[in-house]
Amino acid sequence: MKIKASIEKIPGGMMLVPLLIGACIKTFQPGVGEYLGSFTGGLMSGTVPILGVWFFCMGASVSFSATPTILRKSGTLVVTKVIVAWIVTLLFSKILPGGSIETGFFAGLSVLAIVSCMDMTNGGLYAALMQQYGTKEEAGAFILMSLESGPLVSMLILGAVGAATFPLNNFIGAVLPFLVGIILGNLDPELKAFFTKATAVMIPFFGFALGNTIDLSNIFKTGLLGILLGAFVIVITGIPLILADKLLGGGSGLAGLAASSSAGAAVANPVIIAKMAPQFAPVAAQATALVATSVVVTSILVPILTSLWNSHTKKVQGVDKAEAIN
């Protein structure tokens, strides 16, 4: 049976198929991981350790000479996404009375939901897509995306002055496996070759673990509004990210599109921020449901769109090469 070949026919299949399987388990049998426990339960809930190993192996595959490229690429993507989130949040804060809508089709939509959806990129999803379609340097660009993690950027954008501090120890912990991988991979070519082989293998395992954090029922709880919000995030952040990647990052736009997702960690932001800034408490629950739906929608659509963009880019490059030959 050619299972692998069949999966790879699906855009982003090696990530998307395991992710959907995991999401179905989380939705219809959420207690399976705890019931089975042991290795199976660890695999289903092991997003963080899997990413830790994966990032280490990716680091080992990157040469020191590529470090400036990584910093330029990741810096471009992070700054662009934060600026876009800042501008959109500012605009909606002026448009929405009281910071939220309480009636009609858009009931539940709030500035809190919008900023939580837009300012955090799913670094693991981005790295997986770049590992599959991009370059090692583009995959390593997740390194500065750690700055977006948690409520810090959201709170800064919302103007919650003094309500959050930057967890330096967590930031160090996030980048340390990648940095150690870079050091070891550059000190020993054999280690580089050994660990590099694992990067592609880890993709379906991460996809499955990530899927087990996603409840598909959130789509039905928030209805069409949540789905539209997810699509809104991809379009509004994706276009500037693609342009920034092309014009400033020296890429094809692929990395920019892959960074247009909502991070799974963003689901916790509304509740955390509401505890620190009580004015957001009334809309925290609805914002959480909307952010969760945005995570589901972007986790599904971004891999597909990235794969299609990759195919389009290759076709364009093929045409250019043919014209150059003629």
Spatial distance between the Cα atoms of 103 and 92, rounded to a whole number of angstroms: 16
Q: Where are the domains of the chain?
A: 11-312
168: its two tokens: 């330096």
Spatial distance between the Cα atoms of 161 and 155, rounded to a whole number of angstroms: 8
pLDDT band at 131 (very low <50, low <70, confident <90, very high): confident
The CA-atom distances, in angstroms, between 110 and each of 57, 135, 201, 203, 214 are 40, 37, 40, 34, 22
140: its two tokens: 């390593």
Q: Give, to the nearest 10 degrees, the angle between helix 123-133 and helix 198-211.
A: 140
pLDDT per residue as tens digits for the range 228-284: 999 999 999 999 999 999 998 888 889 899 999 988 767 777 877 787 777 778 888
pTM of the predicted model, to two decimals? 0.71
pLDDT band at 305 (very low <50, low <70, confident <90, very high): very high
List Cβ neighbours of 4 (8 Å cut-off, separation of 6 or more). none
For 275-303, b where at least 16 C-beta lie within 10 A, e where not — what string?
eebeebebbbebbbbbbbbbbbbbbbbbb
Of the candidates 312, 198, 200, 309, the one whose C-alpha atom is nearest the C-alpha of residue 258 is 309
100 forms beta bridges with 110
pLDDT higher than 90, residue 160: no
pLDDT higher than 60, residue 30: yes
Spatial distance between the Cα atoms of 9 and 37, rounded to a whole number of angstroms: 33
Identify the pLDDT of residue 92.
84
Average pLDDT for the chain: 80
pLDDT per residue as tens digits for the range 134-151: 777 777 766 666 556 566
Identify the pLDDT of residue 244.
92
Residues above pLDDT 70, as percent of the chain: 84
Spatial distance between the Cα atoms of 83 and 150, rounded to a whole number of angstroms: 17
110 forms beta bridges with 100
**What does the angle CA 152 – CA 153 – CA 157 come to, to the nearest 5 degrees?**
120
Tell me the chain's radius of gyration from C-alpha atoms. Answer: 20
pLDDT higher than 70, residue 164: no
Question: Which amino acid, one-letter code, is at 254?
Answer: L
Identify the pLDDT of residue 306.
92
The CA-atom distances, in angstroms, between 98 and each of 104, 279, 280 are 15, 10, 10
Lowest-pLDDT choice from 28-32, 35-39, 73-77, 214-218:
214-218
What backbone torsions phi and psi does residue 100 show, to the nearest 5 degrees? -160, 165
Of the candidates 301, 289, 295, the one whose C-alpha atom is nearest the C-alpha of residue 235 is 301
Question: Which amino acid, one-letter code, is at 174?
Answer: A
Q: Does domain 11-312 have CATH number 1.20.1530.20?
A: yes
